[in-house]
A and B are shown apart, each in its own frame.
Chain A
Amino acid sequence: NLLPNVANNDPASLQRHTGPELSLPCLLDMGFTQTQAEQIFEFACKTSGGSATKHCLSTLTVLFMLGLNPSSVMKVLTKCPILYTIKESLLQERISNLRKLGLVEGSLQRVVVHYPAILTLPVKKIKHVTLFLREKCLFTVQQVTQILRDSPAIMHEDLAQLEYKFQYVYFRMGIKQAEMVKHRLFRSTLEELRTRHTFLERRGLYQTPDKKGQTVIANPKLDSVLNVDLDTFLLAHAANASAEEYDVFRRLVAREWKQEERHHGDCQAE
């Protein structure tokens, strides 16, 4: 029962709330608690006078139409209050674009609840990133959908950074697209990934594959490098490494890389 209790699953009754009136009783009517309703009302009034109340109501409607229940709607708006101020037509357009990209019912709702900021991005921007993923990183359409579903935050990342991360994993670590998607690569920061990989590499436990994709030693799986906590990581791959060593290493390479970047910048400036 995702829809607000009073709405009776009747689109017409929802439509009634899209009028210019936003009031506490009408919010209560939608199924919000007293506190939630007060919060929303207060926010709508504070923001840009009367115009916000209008968008506020339409935003609520769009989210309910998506099938979210009041508590999910509240979660979304608390995480991303800027959604109160976005025009209804834009929101609709963005949602239908996500559907077009392959987010089916269920996935779509989950993405919106976990990462509501996805709805703040113009359709053009999302198209740009998905095109980038397909053309520069050669992910398939299905893989792009999966990335969008598992790691929607990718849409906000700097493309140059993203390209670097992809190339790092593809070339330096020798990992193919399917595995990147399967192990949700884009959820991790480049820094953590690079630190762990470099730690293994300098200990002699990870090798960049040659042109034929071969290595002398068997590299650990991406999953066991990426998706485990530090203790598990050290235990699994570096049986004799202490947390002390890893901590010093992390600080050392951070400084190393910062210096390299600075050096790189200097060279380009010349």
Chain B
Amino acid sequence: GKWATSRPKYPPTTLALQHFDVTYSSQLGHLWPSVRVALLSERKYGALLNNFSLNDVEEDLASQGCRDFVTDTDRKEHVSMEQDPEVEFSETSDSTSVEQRDTFGQHQLSQPHLSPTIKCFVFPRGDITRFKPARPDSSGLLGYYLMDAASVLPCLALDVHAGHNLLDLCAAPGGKTLALLQTQAIRFLCLNDSSISRTSRLKKVLQSYLPKELLTREKLRITSFDGTKWGEIEQNTFDRVLVDVPCTTDRHSLMEDDNNIFSKSRTGERRGLPQLQLQLLLAGVVAACPGGEIVYSTCTLSHIQNVGVVEQAIHLARENHGIHLKVVDLRPLAHMFRNTFHFASDVQLGELVIPHLAANFGPIYLCKLKRLS
């Protein structure tokens, strides 16, 4: 009957929840219940617009009541916030962060430079309407790609300029790759993912969204290497590197028992994640050219996998490779999109989008580093 269960006593989703209850309640404090209920409820998507499709999806999406969050930022409010740099969401405020925000005050809050060709449509705050599946145009290309809208932020933060060489170190299944390609500014793009099955998924995604002319050897290379070894292959090469690492994928771990990183059999792998993430980030740093920029991103709230990894990477890059890194301030970016996403207010390095029922995106962590030497 309804009440009989044949499931194991502690399925991986339950183990994940127990783990998060311990770590995140101490990390997020009184915010945790609100983040918890959001994580356990249906997430929101964004529709990344495919500029290569001939369909006029933009108008169609707008008529359904969504808007492109990248261009639809309230600039007037932006100005008033400069004078009053208190934290964006009063509920997330705490004394240390207010102090931190105060110091960056008026002068530093310049508009971040963003590629205007990346567009991502979302339904307004509190609206739970779902997107319909995208339809192919006359040449078979789909009009949009559904993904967590906050996943677009690392791509925006990467700030691709015309003529750039790019490395996407953990690229599959390719949502962020697609966002980066929308800039139409990339000279050469290296896509890598160690998983062969996921790399083939990536290829299928690219074929459904990009015209054949763009999928040539002159513009694109797709590999299935272990990203931690990248430095042995190619160093000091890329203008921009995206390191979107495997992590505890908090949402997935709470909702799906299949392929769950919290299953007993994967304990070792889970414990090894921060080490793997560190090595991937270091490989990305080494692959970037001097002056190049690296964005590290995850979809977990875990402090150890986010700030912890970045701190160590900065340290080890200097110690082991003599590479000096500067953390690029992403607060202007976060500030700009504060009407769409809830950002945590007390992250020492980088920005963290935290889930909230009314804006149920994330978690997405991003941190941008610039190679100085």
Choose, from A16-24, A142-150, A197-205, the stretch at the interface.
Answer: A197-205
Which residue of chain B lies nearest to A172 when distances are taken between CB atoms in the complex? Answer: B3
Among A164, A171, A239, A241, which residue has the most Cβ atoms of chain B within 10 A? A241
The answer to whether A238 touches B33, judged by C-beta atoms less than 8 angstroms apart, is yes
The answer to whether A248 touches B358, judged by C-beta atoms less than 8 angstroms apart, is yes
The answer to whether B126 touches A240, judged by C-beta atoms less than 8 angstroms apart, is no
The answer to whether A256 touches B37, judged by C-beta atoms less than 8 angstroms apart, is no
Binary contact readout A235-270 vs B (1 if CB under 8 angstroms, 0 otherwise): 000111100110111011101100000000000000
Chain B hits for A92, CB < 8 A:
none
A167 close to chain B: CB less than 8 A: yes
Chain A hits for B357, CB < 8 A:
244-245, 248-249, 252
Binding site for A on B (CB under 8 A): 2-3, 21, 25, 30-34, 36-37, 40-42, 91, 126, 128, 356-358
| Cβ-defined partner of B33 (8 Å) among A205, A247, A253, A255 | A205
| Cβ-defined partner of A202 (8 Å) among B25, B31, B36, B126 | B36
A202 with B128: in contact, given A238-B33, A244-B358, A252-B357 (CB under 8 Å)? no
The answer to whether B126 touches A247, judged by C-beta atoms less than 8 angstroms apart, is yes
The answer to whether B37 touches A171, judged by C-beta atoms less than 8 angstroms apart, is no
The answer to whether B34 touches A202, judged by C-beta atoms less than 8 angstroms apart, is no
What are 22 residue pairs bridging A and B, where the CB atoms are less than 8 Å apart in the complex? Answer: A164-B2, A167-B3, A199-B37, A202-B40, A202-B41, A203-B37, A204-B36, A205-B33, A238-B33, A240-B34, A240-B91, A241-B34, A244-B126, A245-B356, A245-B357, A245-B358, A248-B358, A252-B357, A253-B41, A255-B42, A255-B128, A256-B42
Binding site for B on A (CB under 8 A): 164, 167, 171, 199, 202-205, 238-241, 244-245, 247-249, 251-253, 255-256
Among B2, B34, B356, B357, which residue has the most Cβ atoms of chain A within 10 A? B357
Which residue of chain B lies nearest to A255 when distances are taken between CB atoms in the complex? Answer: B128
A245 with B42: in contact, given A204-B21, A240-B91 (CB under 8 Å)? no
- Give 8 closest A-B pairs by Cβ, nearest first: A203-B33, A202-B37, A202-B40, A245-B357, A248-B357, A203-B37, A252-B41, A248-B358
Chain A hits for B33, CB < 8 A:
203-205, 238, 240-241
Among B21, B32, B358, which residue has the most Cβ atoms of chain A within 10 A? B358
Nearest chain A CB to B14's CB is how many angstroms away? Answer: 12
Interface of A is mostly: helix
Which residue of chain A lies nearest to B21 when distances are taken between CB atoms in the complex? Answer: A204
A245 with B37: in contact, given A251-B128, A252-B42, A252-B357 (CB under 8 Å)? yes
Nearest chain A CB to B358's CB is how many angstroms away? Answer: 5
Nearest chain B CB to A175's CB is how many angstroms away? Answer: 15
Nearest chain B CB to A71's CB is how many angstroms away? Answer: 47
Among B2, B36, B37, B357, which residue has the most Cβ atoms of chain A within 10 A? B37
Nearest chain B CB to A136's CB is how many angstroms away? Answer: 12
Q: Cα distance A153–B54 when bound, in Å?
A: 59
Chain A hits for B3, CB < 8 A:
167, 171
Which residue of chain B lies nearest to A239 when distances are taken between CB atoms in the complex? Answer: B30
Which residue of chain B lies nearest to A199 when distances are taken between CB atoms in the complex? Answer: B37
Q: Cα distance A249–B42 when bound, in Å?
A: 9
Nearest chain B CB to A248's CB is how many angstroms away? Answer: 5
Chain B hits for A238, CB < 8 A:
33
Chain A hits for B37, CB < 8 A:
199, 202-203, 245, 249
Which residue of chain B lies nearest to A246 when distances are taken between CB atoms in the complex? Answer: B357
Nearest chain A CB to B312's CB is how many angstroms away? Answer: 31
Which residue of chain B lies nearest to A256 when distances are taken between CB atoms in the complex? Answer: B42
Nearest chain A CB to B13's CB is how many angstroms away? Answer: 13
